[in-house]
Amino acid sequence: MQISVVIPCYRSENSLRELVRRLLERLPEIAENYEIILVVDNSPDATYAVAHDLETEQPGLVRAVLLRRNYGQHNALFAGLMRSRYGVTVTLDDDLQHRPEEIHKLVAPLDNPLVDLVYGVPENEEHGFFRSMASRTVKAGLAAAQVPSAKDVSAFRAFRTDLREGFAHVADQLGNLDVLLSWTTSSIRKVEVEMDERPEGRSGYTLRSLVRHAMNMVTGYGTMPLKLVAWLGAVVSLVGFIMLFTIMIRYFFGAIEVAGFTTLASMIALFSGAMMLSLGILGEYLGRLHFRSMQRPTFLVRADGGENGPIAGLPGFTLPVTGSGPTPDALAQALREQHHKP
């Protein structure tokens, strides 16, 4: 087997060296050829300096990529995936929660030629209550986006690299790798893996950001909210018809001499609320169409230790560049000086 390991990196200057060391110990046991692609998502610390040092120490095995701004975890994954050279791509987080020693379990099902994608599902959930609830919210969003096996989705995944051909044309800054992978295959498996607790720091995913992420998936890749609007309109119309019928009957039987203010106010509040909710959902979809029409890049690379791979995350986007920018060595040194001042 030949494996490309893609790791999105953010605030991981203290964990990255240990992670790469453990990967370099385990990968030769399961892969004939392998590479480790470290995509630094414009981390505010010296993460890229550490990644560049690892690239210099392990030429041909470790590759450091620096993005020009913080594009988000999934866009960083796209930047790394578009640079994968080998037939199987493995993704994992940079915080040492995903064990490199468990990769052999993850890639084993791919020996079956009918399997395309494998998720590593933790044996024990290590998150707190609110974080776990947010994670379940994201998986519900994936399910609403019609992702098969949404409950098993994990950032610890292995898949056949050629699946990327199915979404190489996508230019969506709010993209989600799991949704895009679901477009390409239904041959999905899961394996149970052991996970460690985060050794230091806190996850960048808060409850609020995860809920927003789930909403992006629902409105960006599914039509369930629009269907709910249609059903809501039908239900509200039915309620309005029943209320109108009831008032007319009472009026003809003399039970109502003057129309009541309470009934009128209730009807106005009910219909106004339904209309505002419907407009809000339609606005979300229009906003997504607007962002996609702007063709904002999913990533833009500042430095890359390799020679291949797109600079901008837009399909077929290439422009000639005159002159040369800062070298990876110069960028790494600048980051060291900026973040390790006495």
Concatenate the DSSP letters of all residues of 140-161 into one string.
Answer: HHHHHTT-TTGGG--SSEEEEG
120-176 per-position pLDDT tens digit: 988 766 555 445 555 555 555 555 555 566 677 888 999 999 999 988 877 777 778
Residue 342 pLDDT exceeds 50: no
Residue 2 pLDDT exceeds 50: yes
Token duo for residue 14: 């203290």
Q: List helix spans (H) across the chain.
A: 16-30, 47-57, 73-81, 103-107, 129-144, 177-184, 207-221, 224-252, 261-293, 328-339
72-104 per-position pLDDT tens digit: 888 999 999 999 999 999 999 998 889 999 999
Q: Which pLDDT score is estimated for 53?
A: 94
What percent of the chain is helix, strand and coil (3-state, nearest 5)? 50, 15, 35
3-state secondary structure of 109: helix
Rg (CA), the chain: 25
Residue 238 pLDDT exceeds 60: yes
Token duo for residue 167: 């979404």
**38-52, 177-191, 256-270: which has the highest mean pLDDT?**
38-52
The whole-angstrom separation of Cα 59 and Cα 45 is 23
- Please, what is the average pLDDT of the chain? 79
Q: Which pLDDT score is estimated for 109?
A: 94
Q: Which pLDDT score is estimated for 323?
A: 59
Mean pLDDT, residues 227-231 taken together: 70
Predicted TM-score of the model (pTM): 0.77
The whole-angstrom separation of Cα 203 and Cα 200 is 9
Mean pLDDT, residues 101-108 taken together: 94
Token duo for residue 258: 């003057």
Strand order in the sheet with 188-193: 188-193, 117-122, 157-160, 88-91, 2-9, 33-40, 62-67, 301-304
The whole-angstrom separation of Cα 8 and Cα 77 is 6
Q: Which pLDDT score is estimated for 153?
A: 80
258-269 per-position pLDDT tens digit: 656 566 766 776
Are the CB atoms for 37 and 51 separated by under 8 Å? no
Look at the block and give the residue holding tokens 């399910």. 143
